[in-house]
Amino acid sequence: PKIKMAEGTRAPAQLTSTLKQGKDEKDLSREAVWSVSSAKPGNGVDLLVDGRSDSFWQSDGLQPHCITLEFHQPVQLSRVAIACDFRVDESYTPQKITIRVGTRWSDVHTLRTEEVSEPQGWIVIPLAAVRARVLQILILANHQNGRDTHVRQVKVFGPRKDVTSTLASRPGRVGFREVESTMYGTVR
């Protein structure tokens, strides 16, 4: 399996058989409202976050296929991970993937495009800590010119914020170090 890095990107996407959450990041997947451009009956959007490698979302329609995540407020995003399995899905496996972000629908723009070759496992796409309220994953092409696509799982990660340093950095706040003391950091 190979990845072709798109023009103008910094860190390349990586293929990995296992996905681990870093200690400095949190999984933002459950904080978003998910939607897809289309779905075959019985293979809907809920299967993208069910935690199982034997289930998958299957699109039903013309390309590009789209997975959209809408967060209630802007969040910091650090990477997107997409699980695919070429051995099982063959022509249903994504080959060209575009990541789009925006703080609202009117400013959604393409952040990066990746081409992967016969992925088996997680396609991990770094996002350089971008802030967004809308995240779109577009499947522009599949292997062997397939029409519909299979995506087994999607996870979105962002940096974990240190509560005490966030409180201490705000103007007019006292910089307490202990979590128990932070409740006395402001006067009402």
Q: What is the pTM of this model?
A: 0.79
Phi, psi at 167, each rounded to 5°: -65, -40
End-to-end CA distance of the chain: 58
What band does 19 get if pLDDT is binned at 50, 70 and 90? Answer: confident
Residue 58: what pLDDT? Answer: 97
Cα distance between residue 137 and residue 3, in whole Å:
17
Comparing 57-66, 95-104, 179-188, which segment has the lowest mean pLDDT? 179-188
Three-state SS for 29-49 is HHHEEEEECCCCCCCCHHHHC
Residue 158 phi, psi dihedral angles, 5° rounding: -140, 165
Strands (DSSP E) contained in 119-182 are 120-142, 150-151, 153-159
- Using alpha carbons, select from 69, 68, 45 the residue that is nearest to residue 57: 45
pLDDT tens-digit series, residues 74-111: 999 999 999 999 999 999 999 999 999 999 999 999 99
At 104-144, the pLDDT tens digits run 999 999 999 999 999 999 999 999 879 999 999 999 999 99
